[in-house]
Structure 1
């Protein structure tokens, strides 16, 4: 059991206590037939992160694997609607997302995220929150010129026109992962092939952590 103050922060820390649940992680893994993890998809806007995430979700659903997608734009419509795009707000956006992913992992789900998450420090923060043993970083490494040619939301055109300040890849840096678990270039491979590669990578990871009773 965690101590009363082990992970609390803020003015209410002295009055907040951790309440441990009664269902062990191993029990959930046995029930679901797979261990939990978070696939953290990072890459430029237009790289194909959300498309890949939802394609993988459909594939996992069809094989009765419990999963959920956390999409950056979707979270900003609700949970993170109060945040802007300053560096501090972007960090807080990812902190909240990582905390949600951790909670979902704690109940046994596979979580697939789709966030630009341009800074290595922020992705490392997410890894620490979720736990290194559940965090799998995937770089959707589609080239900037391909992403900009797609421009599915019209964001690059607006950024080039000065309408969107601090836009990743144009006026704000993207720090590519130095050693991601997997790299996928959706400019060089079709969606079906990229989804299959992502699914195979996930399956290989899960195989090494399969509950004994379902091996």
Structure 2
């Protein structure tokens, strides 16, 4: 880091934003295979939070790669940098009193652990959207599994690139068995149990 840089303390901090908003802030990190339902669940939860007057924001993997991370590919190094950047953005939103919903495959445990370590304890919730790759292939909403099987996409998570399931997530959602609405309710209950919302 440049030695000429100095951290500037803001006059309004996270606790002031939380008091103003009337709820906790932090990062909900949805991880799982492509097609597991991460984005659908995060979108539904974001809608619920919005309707309840809770300050929230959704960061979605595909959308972020259209702008902030448009210069990154899908090598292991680029995936690591993708998640590092998202972690930093999510932390900024959380500091503003916002509940951040991050929906990213984020296949490597070490990358998710680095994001967790960069955020104050208790402000990061890892949610594993667990769905077998066979079911994700059947769904294949973007046609990516078919392309990966045909060799059109290399290094595709779950096919020829690994996905490391979370070791100790705060919540596991069985998205093969349960609907988007049911999974959303499970996350909402967790937020209530942790007193992020009332």
How far apart, CA to CA, are the structure 1 residues paired with 2:154 and 2:3? Answer: 40
Gaps of 5+ in 1: 1-8
2:119 corresponds to: 130
> Pairwise mapping of residues 1-215 of structure 1 onto structure 2 (< 5 A)?
9=1, 13-205=2-194, 207=195
Task: Provide the TM-score with structure 1 as the length reference.
Answer: 0.89
- Give 3-state SS (helix, strand or coil) of 1:113's partner: strand
Contact 1:101 1:130 in 2 (8 A): no
How far apart, CA to CA, are the structure 1 residues paired with 2:157 and 2:182? Answer: 27
How far apart, CA to CA, are the structure 2 residues paired with 1:75 and 1:64? Answer: 25
Deviation at 1:37, TM superposition (A): 0.9
Deviation at 1:25, TM superposition (A): 2.3
After superposition, the CA RMSD in angstroms is 1.2
- Give 3-state SS (helix, strand or coil) of 1:179's partner: coil
1:136-183 deviation digits (Å, cap 9, x = unpaired) = 000000111111100000000000111111110000111001111000
Contact 2:31 2:38 in 1 (8 A): yes
Contact 1:42 1:118 in 2 (8 A): yes
- Give 3-state SS (helix, strand or coil) of 1:56's partner: helix
How far apart, CA to CA, are the structure 1 residues paired with 2:81 and 2:118? Answer: 13
Contact 1:39 1:111 in 2 (8 A): yes
Kindly name which structure, 1 or 2, has the bigger radius of gyration based on alpha carbons.
1
1:96-127 deviation digits (Å, cap 9, x = unpaired) = 00000000011110001100001100100111
Structure 1 residues 117-126 or 23-32, which shifts more? 23-32
How far apart, CA to CA, are the structure 1 residues paired with 2:105 and 2:44? Answer: 18
1:3 corresponds to: none
1:40-85 deviation digits (Å, cap 9, x = unpaired) = 0000000000000110000000000000001000000000000001
Task: Provide the TM-score with structure 2 as the length reference.
Answer: 0.97
Gaps of 5+ in 2: none
Deviation at 1:17, TM superposition (A): 1.1
